[in-house]
Amino acid sequence: MGSQRDLGQDLALGKRRHNELCRQKRVFNARNRIVGGDTEAWDIQVRDQKIKEATEKARHETFAAEMRHNDKITCILEGRERRDKRSLCKAINDFQQSFQRPETRREFDLSDPLALKKDLPARQSDNDIRNTISGMQKFMGEDLNFRERKKFQEEQNREWSLQQQREWEDARAHQRCAEDLYLKTRLQFDETAKHLQNLESATRKAVCVAVKEFNKSQATESLERKIQEKKQEQEDNVAEISNLLHGDLLSENPQQAASSFGPHRVVPDRWKGMTQEQLEQIRLVQKQQIQEKLRLQEEERQRDMDWDRRRVQMARAALLLERQQRRQQRDLRRALDCNNLSLAKEQRLQKKHMEEICTNEPTEDYFTQFNTRSR
Map out the domains of the chain as residue ranges. 2-96
Q: Hey, how many other C-beta atoms are within 10 angstroms of the C-beta on 258? A: 15
Quick check: 362 pLDDT over 80?
no
**How confident is the model at residue 310, as a pLDDT?**
92
**What's the rounded mean pLDDT across residues 79-105?**
88
Mean pLDDT of 275-302: 91
Instruction: Give pLDDT, residue 98.
Output: 85
How high is the mean pLDDT of the chain? 83
The predicted-structure confidence for 175-227, as pLDDT tens digits, reads as follows 889 888 888 888 888 888 888 888 888 888 888 888 888 888 888 888 888 99
H helix runs in 100-145, sequence order: 115-118
Question: CA 339, CA 346: separation in Å to the nearest integer?
Answer: 11
Asked whether 145 and 126 are in contact (CB, 8 A), the reply is yes
For 245, half-sphere exposure in the C-beta direction (CA atoms, 13 angstrom radius) is 6
Does residue 356 or residue 237 have the better pLDDT? 237
The helix/strand/coil state of 284 is helix
Stretch 77-98: mean pLDDT: 91
Record the pTM: 0.25
Residue 316 has pLDDT above 70, yes or no: yes
Q: What's the pLDDT score for residue 214?
A: 86
Buried b (16+ CB within 10 A) or exposed e, 14-45: eeeeeeeeeeeeeeeeeeeeeeeeeeeeeeee
User: Is the model's pLDDT at 1 over the cut of 60?
Assistant: no
Average pLDDT estimate for 287-292: 94
At residue 343, the pLDDT reads 92
| SS3 per residue for 212-252 | HHHHHHHHHHHHHHHHHHHHHHHHHHHHHHHHHHHCHHHHC
Residue 288: pLDDT band with limits 50, 70, 90: very high
Helix (H) or strand (E) holding 258: strand 258-259
Range name among 56-70, 299-313, 326-340, 354-368 with the lowest pLDDT average: 354-368
Specify the pLDDT at position 129.
72
Residue 361, pLDDT > 90, answer no
pLDDT at 331: 93
Give the closest residue to 267 by CA, choosing from 253, 278, 277. Answer: 253
State the CB neighbour count (10 A cutoff) for residue 256.
15
What tens digit of pLDDT does each residue of 234-265 get? Answer: 888 888 887 766 665 565 566 666 666 766 67
Q: pLDDT tens for residues 14-61?
A: 888 888 888 877 777 766 666 656 677 778 888 999 999 999 999 999
**Confidence (pLDDT) at 20:** 84
Assess whether pLDDT exceeds 90 at residue 79.
yes
- pLDDT at residue number 374: 60
pLDDT at 38: 65
- The answer to whether residue 85 scores a pLDDT higher than 80 is yes
